[in-house]
Amino acid sequence: MKTYANLDAFYDENPERRRSGEADYGCWWREADSDWPRWRVSYVQKTAEVYAVQLTSGQVNVRGIVPPDDDRIYYRTLDRILEGWADRIQEPGSLDWVRRRLIRR
């Protein structure tokens, strides 16, 4: 998992990220043993990266790669992989749930 100090560092490393559409998967993801910090999970279409950004520090972790669908609707495959995400988002360990789903795909 690649880590960046903040979103600017993440976007600066690859200019395609700034020019890309993104799909958002919510901003209340949690780690296993705490309510804070919370994370936002998003998908960058042009680079196929699923990333999480910590809402307090701004740290970014790339969680996985999910190539776009053949029909260019880039989020359909990821929607299937993360099916049920809205019901999981505020549970303890929900961020790890995302990681496990990306690995299993």
Kindly give the confidence (pLDDT) of every residue in the chain, 105 residues in length, as a single tens digit, with 9 standing for 90 and above.
899 999 999 999 999 999 998 999 999 999 987 788 999 999 998 899 999 999 999 999 999 999 877 766 667 889 999 999 999 999 999 999 999 999 986
Is 25 a domain residue?
yes
Burial profile 33-52: b = 16 or more Cβ within 10 angstroms, e = fewer: eeeeebbbbbbbbbebbbbb
Residue 90 belongs to some domain of the structure: yes
Domain of residue 77 covers: 3-98
Tell me how many domains the chain contains.
1
Query: Does residue 105 sit within a domain?
Result: no
Burial-class residue 82 by CB neighbours within 10 Å (0-12, 13-18, 19+): buried
Start-to-end CA span in the chain (Å) = 17
Residues 67-76: contacts with CB under 8 Å, at least 24 apart: 74/21, 74/23, 74/43, 74/45, 75/23, 75/43, 75/45
Residue 61 lies in a domain: yes
Per-residue model confidence (pLDDT) at position 69: 77
